[in-house]
A = this chain, B = another copy of it.
Amino acid sequence: MAPTHTNDHDSLIEVLRPDRTAVLVHDMQHDFCSPGGTIYNRAAKHPETIAAVVGELVQLIRVARDHGIKIIYLQQMHLANAADLPPAHVKHLKSSGLAGTIDDIPCIKGTWGHQILDELAPEPDDMIVDKAAFNDFHNSLLDKVLRVQGVETPILTGVSSHAGVIGTFFGFLDYGYDFFIARECVTGYDPELHESAMNIMRPHTMGVAEILAAWSGTAP
């Protein structure tokens, strides 16, 4: 098993200094997280874990705002008629049990399913980055926004751990970011696969308590 992150606490305060971090909220949209959402309906085996993540995120975002920390929403968006979706991607959704027909494609621009959850609705100073991939850096403005905003240590949250979260995990590595996954703010549709993803991401995983302590400068 890979070791957990080994920064000592002093440097962690520095690494997570409010002006160089941001909370990234991935895929917290109706199609992924609400009863009636296309992917939620087919794939969410333990919906209570998604509800728990929403609760944790509401708190994490509130504290982040208090510290002046930036909030960046990573919002899945496909074009009408899934005009941007390769046949192989549709086939993957079907073979993974995530879609039955083309009508199940989630997050079509302008639909209810594409919208971010009411509890996590963006505020005017938040940023929203559209994306249409597992790795949120792919074909999106994510790298540009992080650099322009001076974000050196992004904190990733959202669903699903074993799909877009871990896909973006490798994006952070390839684009050269120091970063963390906020443990309690991430979950997956399938508990076994969630555990698998968290195993692989462990060296970059951090508990919310530790994050909050760093922000407040009280990390022991």
Contact = CB atoms under 8 A, between A and B. Distances in A.
Contact of A173 (B7, B128, B167): B167
Nearest to A197: B200
A88 B143 CA distance: 15
A19 interface: no
A86 B176 CA distance: 5
Nearest 6 A/B pairs, CB to CB:
A86-B176, A196-B196, A167-B170, A88-B178, A133-B174, A196-B199
Given A84-B141, A84-B148, A203-B92, A174 B2 contact: no
Interface of A: 1-3, 5-7, 79-80, 83-89, 91-92, 94-97, 124, 127-128, 130, 132-135, 138-141, 143-145, 147-149, 162, 166-167, 170-171, 173-179, 190, 192-193, 195-197, 199-200, 203-204
A97 B3 contact: yes
A86 B148 contact: yes
B200 A127 contact: no
Nearest to A192: B1
A166 B176 contact: no
Contacts of A173: 88-89, 92, 133-134, 167
